[in-house]
Chains A and B, each alone.
Chain A
Amino acid sequence: MTTARPVGRPLALLALGALPLAVMAVFFVLPVSGMVSRGFSDGAGPVLDVLGRPRVHRVLWFTVWSAAAATAVSVALGLPAAFALHLLSWPGRRVVRAALLVPFVLPTVVVGVAFRQLLGESGPLGFLGLDGTAAGIVAGLAFFNVAVVIRTVGAAWESLDPRAGEAAAALGAAPLTVFRTVTLPALRPAIVSSATVVFLFCATGFGVVLTMGGLRYSSVETEIYLLTTNLLDLQAAAALSILQLVVVTVLLALAARVRVATAVRRTVSRPRRPRRGDAPVLAATGLLLAMVAAPIATLVVGSLRHEGHWTTANYRALGTPGTALLVPVTDALVTSLRTAVDATWMSLLLGGLVSVVVTRRSHGRAERRLRATFDGLFMLPLGVSAVTLGFGFLITLGSFRDDPLLVPIAQALVALPLVVRTLAPVLGGVDDRLRQAAASLGAGPLRQFLTVDLPVVWKPLLAAAGFAFAVSLGEFGATSFLARDEHPTLPVVIFRLIGHPGAMNYGMALAASVVLAAATTVVMLLVERLRVPSIGSF
């Protein structure tokens, strides 16, 4: 009996998936497993022993509870803000939405210093006594991640059918009861999925724990850093890396479970004008805004002062090499922009392919499971320490380890999860029969994509590009561990400026940070104008 197989389909998908898989294998799996296997050079025993150390238990416990607390705070602060920013219409809300994302993509060095100037003992908010406390760490983590909750939940909230709530109200439910009994259950998938991601970011947060905690606290991530860069205790680092990977994998699996229930609807209800009853929500949003604005305002003010005077000298100095730098900051900005362009097209290419592969209709359960695994694989960079990756590049990539392209590649990997999670829901929302109709009209695979997918996906694609661009602009962790030639990116230059004494260096660091923040905000505003549903939602 001959086989009449619709040809090419599995093969074509395999071909589409091959490039991202190969990139992932070479630039993620290989380096990470290379580092981890060094830890196992004396067998598994010593690695397992590490897990028995009391210090490891303490570190693990702190990581889990601080991340959980920060997640709770993010959700509590994010819910009212999601409502105020997505369902109410008031002037400037788009700018605010864009601005709230800025801390999410700014390098921690910068915001960390600004944050501590505000909350530190002598800062204007020093009376809160948050500096060097666990509460300070939780606040910092929440500050960085609340945008994720706002965007994901806000997008879901926008697309909720308001009639269910209206029906409940007609049945005599008070607004709060409506929220509790109708809205909240409908939002639950979005809340759970954003909470999972926030937990993930918090549990792998690095800079915040160090900056806000003043070394009083160690998380798994900071411990891996210490073990790898300082103590060269690769066994312990391997043990913690594996632990972290396992936790992250479990979390991602959970997130994927929830995600199944949340297909993207592209209907968006019109925002309404605020009413008096919205006052508490608006107040909470205002508070959140102040939380985000204050450190950034500190940056701006600091950048405009030099030796006690208001001046633009710090900005003017950006065009000169200064004393601590080989290149002027403006050159670093150009390098950053170029690197970001590379990182953007790479992450779009890879993320686009991954999204196409994971959203095509599956034939059979096995294929579906394979796709889900494929999807999950590309989320894993979220859960691996930049140190492990950076050192892994060094020992596994042979002569390619010094290639300048490694920086954009590493940044593309960091941005990849965001790109996939922006594109996949939209592509998944496309009825596969539309593609089949096009095929039956004589359109080949490429033409099908142009006719059916591209019209739907071009805006999310641009939005994802903006996201990847902004992430790349602000990326510091992975970049700083890679061998670079004499073309440092802006965050690296800022880090160097702020790491040297001298009032001018400090002022220039702040000015450069403001430039970086401004560039990021502009990119985010452009993304915002595209009005893509659930961008970057997980």
Chain B
Amino acid sequence: MRKRALAISIITTLALTSCSLGSGSDDGAAGGGSDRVVLVTHDSFNLPKELKTEFEKDSGFRLVVRQSGDAGALTNKLVLTKDDPTGDVAFGVDNTFASRALKAGVFADNTPTGVPAGAEAFDLPGDGGARLTPVDDGNVCVNVDTTWFAAHHMTPPATLDDLTRPAYKDLFVTPGATTSSPGLAFLLATIAKYGDGWTDYWTRLLANGAKVVDGWEDAYTVDFTQGGGNGSRPIVLSYDSSPAFTVADGTSTTKALLDTCFTQVEYAGVLAGAKNEKGARALVDFLLSKDVQAALPDAMYVFPVAQDAPLPADWSKFAVQPTKPWTVSPEDIDAHRDEWLRTWSDLVSR
């Protein structure tokens, strides 16, 4: 009898959730159709519902968002499917991967209307905004736990060189360049600063007890002293916006080191061969609109490219952007990424 009851309960559970098949989504399948515009993006994309509705009302197109993987996976998928694109617009290809996508001919020419002031500064060198439109930016910077250093009566480090000093032995943690996009950005920052000497720098950094972990979430939430867990390392690789999220009693417990930053810019572009080109262009324009730009910090933890977009209170107070971040040209990145990553990987895995 009990077995029967068990069976019935299982069947009931299945029945309760069994409006399944397609998870009740509005016809995600089926090929083109010009009544909708398909945005292909990475897992971190996040657009508030009101804005989505706003776009659909204004443009008359239904917005379908397809997201998976990170910026690297996104770019490679776009490259692999360039003859038969999976959508109309791509968002999330950043300056470290953009050259690969452009070279493969993934994007179509597009000159957006209503480009906000300040956005041109983020145009991809070599493209000049012809195909890729900058939407947001963020800096990957070394962050320090100021309370920890105060409690230990120590001066926090300020530069990349400082990280290799014995005083900061075993205090730094960073996600890996091969497995996380901030990790790659940090590697590029060191390459920008040290040129060919970057391998020596990394050798010294690792010898000084720098810890390399899988992803940002690992470094920040597990090893960092301010990351929610109870980590033991007060220096972590994170973003320039991170101090805005460690505010307690009106002051942030962390600080970004502005001399260690590398800028990541995320681009949107109309895909070559888009089924709904008109919708695609409208969507790129929309991403530059006031409302979207203003929503970016809260929704995606990045800075808007629009100079005049308002920032959340904590951001304007604690998220300081570097004035002179390190840069590596997209062509250089594209030409050497393989070699750099392999060398780096060999250094780290020894």
Residues of A near any B CB (own CB < 8 A) = 38, 55, 58, 109, 112-113, 116-117, 120-123, 126, 132, 210-211, 214-218, 222, 225-226, 228-233, 302, 307, 323-326, 334-335, 337-342, 344, 390-391, 394-395, 398-405, 462, 465-466, 480-487, 492, 495-496, 498-503, 506-507, 526, 529-530
Contact B28 A404 (CB under 8 A): yes
A403–B18 alpha-carbon span in the complex (Å): 18
Identify the 3 closest CB pairs spanning chains A and B, nearest first. A122-B232, A506-B228, A215-B176
Which of the 9-residue segments B59-67, B124-132, B279-287 touches chain A? B59-67
CB distance A232 to B64 under 8 Å?
A: no
A120 touches B222 (CB 8 A): yes
B117: CB under 8 A from chain A? no
**Which residue from chain A places its CB closest to the CB of B6 in the assembled complex?**
A529
Pick from A210, A483, A507, A529: contact of B40, CB under 8 Å: A483
Q: Please tell me if the beta carbons of B43 and A496 are within 8 angstroms of each other in the complex.
A: yes
- Looking at B75-83, B107-115, B197-205, the stretch in contact with chain A turns out to be B75-83
A113→B217 contact, CB < 8 A: yes
Question: Which of B43, B70, B217 lies at the interface centre, i.e. has the most chain A CB atoms within 10 A of its CB?
Answer: B217
Given A229-B70, A395-B80, A395-B81, A121:B23 Cβ within 8 A: no
Chain B nearest CB from A102 CB (Å) reads 19
A390 touches B68 (CB 8 A): yes
Which of B46, B73, B214 contacts A326, CB < 8 Å?
A: B46
Q: Please name all residues of chain A whose beta carbon is closer than 8 Å to the beta carbon of B28 when the two chains form the complex.
A: 402-404, 485
Stretch from B155-163, B188-196, B262-270, B334-342 contacting the other chain: B334-342
Supposing A120-B231, A229-B69 touch, asked if A215 and B43 sit within 8 A by C-beta, the answer is no
Check A507–B228 contact: CB distance below 8 A: yes
Extra A-B contacts (6), CB below 8 Å, given A58-B349, A324-B301, A339-B23? A335-B23, A394-B86, A405-B22, A481-B73, A498-B221, A506-B227
CB-based contact A215/B214 at 8 Å: yes
In the complex, whether B345 has a CB less than 8 A from a CB of chain A is yes
Given contacts A324-B46, A326-B49, A483-B66, contact A230 B341 (CB under 8 A): yes
15 pairs from A and B in contact (CB 8 Å cutoff): A210-B214, A214-B211, A215-B345, A230-B72, A326-B46, A326-B47, A339-B20, A341-B17, A391-B77, A398-B84, A404-B29, A405-B29, A482-B68, A496-B43, A501-B239
Q: Which residue of B lies closest to A327 (CB)?
A: B49
| B58 CB–A CB distance under 8 Å | no
A338 touches B178 (CB 8 A): no
B238 CB-CB contact with A under 8 Å: yes
* Given A218-B349, A394-B86: A341 and B245 interface contact (C-beta under 8 Å): no
Which residues of chain B are within 8 angstroms of A465 by Cβ–Cβ distance? 10, 14
Separation in Å of the A280 CB from the closest CB of chain B?
A: 34
A323 B299 Cβ-Cβ under 8 A = yes
Q: Give, as a whole number of angstroms, the nearest-CB distance from A387 to chain B.
A: 8
Residues in A with CB closer than 8 Å to B67 are 483-484
Q: Is the CB of B338 within 8 A of A496?
A: no
Cβ distance A521 to chain B, nearest Cβ, rounded Å: 15
CB distance from A56 to the nearest CB of B (A): 12
B69 lies within 8 A of A499 (CB): no
Known: A229-B70, A481-B69. A215 touches B349 (CB 8 A): yes
Write the chain A residue with the least CB distance to B32.
A399
Chain A: minimal CB distance from B271 (Å): 14
CB within 8 Å for A400 and B348 given contacts A215-B214, A498-B221, A507-B228: no
A487 touches B221 (CB 8 A): no
Chain B residues with Cβ below 8 Å from A323 are: 298-299
What residue in chain B is nearest A459 (Cβ atoms)? B3
The distance in angstroms between the C-alpha atoms of A501 and B229, with both chains bound, is: 12
From the candidates A217, A480, A501, name the one contacting B69 in the complex (CB within 8 A). Answer: A480
Chain A residues whose CB sits within 8 angstroms of the CB of B100 once the complex forms: 232
Give every chain B residue within 8 A of A302 (Cβ-Cβ): 228-229
Looking at A38, A341, A487, the one whose CB has the most chain B CB atoms below 10 A away is A341
B178 and A230 contacting across the interface, CB-CB below 8 Å: yes
What chain B residues lie within 8 Å of A325 (beta carbons)? 46
Interface contact B348-A462, CB-CB below 8 Å: no
Interchain CB contact under 8 A, A211 and B228? no
Q: Which residue of B lies closest to A207 (CB)?
A: B214
The smallest beta-carbon distance between B224 and chain A, in angstroms, is: 10
CB-nearest residue of chain B to A334: B17
- B315: Cβ under 8 A from any A Cβ: no
The contact of A399 among B31, B178, B211, B238, by CB within 8 Å, is: B31
Mark each residue of chain B from 301 to 312: 1 if its CB lies under 8 Å from any CB of chain A, else 0.
100000000000
In the complex, A47→B184 CA distance in Å? Answer: 26
**Least Cβ distance of A108 to chain B in Å?**
10
The yes or no answer to B274 lying at the interface (CB within 8 A) is no
- Interface of A (DSSP majority class): helix
In whole angstroms, how far apart are the Cα atoms of A217 and B213 in the complex? 11
Pick from B179, B221, B242, B350 the residue with the most CB of A within 10 Å. B221
Question: How far is it, in angstroms, between the C-alpha of A414 and the C-alpha of B222 when the chains are bound?
Answer: 30
- CB contacts (< 8 Å) of A341 on chain B: these are 14, 17-18, 20
> With A and B bound together, what is the CA distance between A213 and B23 in angstroms?
37
* CB <8 Å contact, B17 and A337: yes
Asked if residues B211 and A132 are in contact (CB atoms below 8 Å), the reply is yes
Tell me whether B217 and A216 are in contact (CB under 8 A).
Answer: no
Is the CB–CB distance between B44 and A232 below 8 Å? Answer: no
| Bound-state Cα–Cα, A324 to B178, Å | 25
- A222 contacts which chain B residues (CB < 8 A)? 179
B46 nearest CB across to chain A (Å): 6
Q: For the complex, is B346 an interface residue (Cβ under 8 Å from A)? A: yes
- Given contact pairs A394-B80, A499-B217, A338 touches B66 in the complex (Cβ within 8 A): no
State in angstroms the CA–CA spacing of A307 and B184 once bound together.
31
Q: Are A215 and B178 in contact (CB under 8 A)?
A: yes
CB-nearest residue of chain A to B43: A496
- Interfacial chain B residues near A398, Cβ < 8 Å: 84
* A487-B222 in contact (CB<8A): no
Q: Which residues of B contact A307 (CB under 8 A)?
A: 248
Decide: A116 and B222 in contact? CB cutoff 8 A: yes
Nearest CB in chain B to that of A54: its residue: B346
In the assembled complex, which residues on chain B have CB atoms less than 8 Å from the CB atom of A530? 3, 6
Neighbouring A residues of B24 by C-beta, 8 Å: 338, 487
Shortest distance between the CB of B85 and any CB in chain A (Å) = 11
Is the pair B222, A117 in contact by a Cβ cutoff of 8 Å?
yes
Across the interface, name the chain B residue whose C-beta is closest to A407.
Answer: B23
Task: Judge if B21 is at the interface, Cβ distance under 8 Å.
Answer: yes
Chain B residues whose CB sits within 8 angstroms of the CB of A233 once the complex forms? 338
How far apart sit A313 and B324, CA to CA, in the bound complex (Å)?
Answer: 40
**Assembled-state Cα–Cα distance A499/B44 (Å):** 9
Chain A neighbourhood of B43, CB < 8 A: 480, 492, 495-496, 499
Closest to A335 in B: B23
Known interface pairs A395-B80, A462-B7. Does A215 touch B17 (Cβ–Cβ under 8 Å)? no
- B222 A485 Cβ-Cβ under 8 A: no
Q: Is the CB of A391 within 8 A of B76?
A: yes
Q: For the complex, what is the distance from the CA of A400 to the CA of B28, rounded to whole Å?
A: 10
Q: How far is the CA of A116 from the CA of B227 in the complex (A)?
A: 13
Complexed CA–CA distance, A225 and B72 (Å): 11
CB neighbours of A58 from chain B (8 A):
349
Q: How far does the alpha carbon of A196 sit from the alpha carbon of B48 in the complex, in Å?
A: 48
Q: Is the CB of A485 within 8 A of B64?
A: yes
Contact of A502 among B6, B31, B38, B245 (CB under 8 A): B245
Q: Which residues of chain B are within 8 angstroms of A496 by Cβ–Cβ distance? A: 43-44
In B1-51, which residues have CB < 8 Å from any A CB?
A: 3, 6-7, 9-10, 14, 17-25, 28-31, 38, 40, 43-44, 46-49
Residue B316 lies at the interface, judged by CB distance under 8 Å to chain A: no
